[in-house]
Chain A
């Protein structure tokens, strides 16, 4: 297959350039590592304020219960180790607490259901509802991690327990997404024995690291998007370099159709971008312990990112005359659009909503939306709207850029 040979040529050339390789993989990982270790060592970091967490304890334990879920949670969340991260306070009614989260007066709300203790003792599962503000992904992540750790401790009453977090549907809140934390565990026989039931709360030993991880994840996603867009642009502009080398013209003297050349070229760009994304995801998962999300969501997000980055690259190619110009032009355009797209401020809490709205005028902003959802654990269904917009945007960019490219490099491409 000639198209494959062309794609392979492009992948090989891209990965053979030390400078490009550094930009594709080295720099994004390095920037993330700098931040990770800066925050990892300062245990919580100076920039993050403790999140105000309201606890609405509706739990009504049976009279002789050895343990009360609500009270254990309260005590655990109020422990001094967590004071840098959480400022727990009791809430009195659901409606006003939700409103407080929505309006930003509270960082998060944890609801302990009425039958919590009863159903835990009966060996059933307890659903703790966590309401967070999606505009503050870092705070939401910290609260989720801490509550999860506490719930882990609760359900670790000597039994194997599994805790899975999932995003639940919006519980009537217009803006905020409700995060439901399901602590599923079965108490074995000895769990009823107060002495054996070690319902200690595992303090988030990795509390600082968890914050660092949370920040690293945001930064890594942003850096990945930033540099993947560069790869897309340089991948598209490879044709310019070939024109200058004379290899594009030589290719036009061989019996290779324009369609084959175009197909091979885009296959090469797609493979390069996907390889870069995969390498960054894997390396950052290993180095910083970033959880990227569900495998299928991650795969879809990677494809969407590759498509939109390639599309933007092909469009940018139209504004570059020579390969010498490509560096500065791509640098300026991708840095500006990346900043507007929110890639430089991924870790800043409480950005004004206008900023978020502005980011959606850039392809990078949409890509970041997709990855944010992915990291929040969204499944393909929940991710579908942002994914669809991003893919359509990419397709639209290609629809504009490819004909321009074909016209300009008429002797080949």
Chain B
């Protein structure tokens, strides 16, 4: 565990900004995608891929790698940008997203895209799959860790709670769930569509270790991931309070931007608000 310097924090903040910029650009270019949930996850994905996780983009099958599962697979844009930026595949591939012959699918595809651990899209699979992977790592005596990013709407799926039982029964301390708690889902606010609170208490009742953070604060994200390694008998969930559409004023906290595509003018505004010098390009 190394201390995050102020300079390093600035670097990771810049990477998160770039993830936002590129995610919006490729969604605009493809004419489809899910900007809101990609933007809310930017810092978490930046810290995992560019700082915390042990992984080797030149060897995606490296046995000792940490695993990341994007259970809320519709945020694929942010994952694809991170995978391209770390070198799993050429950045040009991002420009072909959505073409019939491109390996990048609407949702992550483990067969086609290097670096994608599991195909996703239908919500709810990541935690149970992650628990299985964490169990396999224990049986194989590997020290790698398994990270699963969940959506808060996704938390309404029963299988999430089935997996929560399994992970706590087997004391999967090498499993970390990260909840992107942006309080927005497809149809509206999570607290209107299907309230989740008291959420931290629910996870504690399921025998999980719970850490609550601001998911846009790089230091808090890193600290929480470090802290989870100090827990030795329970799985950990990091409840990351976030803003859906973070960084683009008209997208923030709006279910309209769950799966909408910005127009050319809206793209321009987004680039300006994200301090992207080159503009929309």
Do A and B truly interact? no
Residues of A within 8 A of B (CB): none
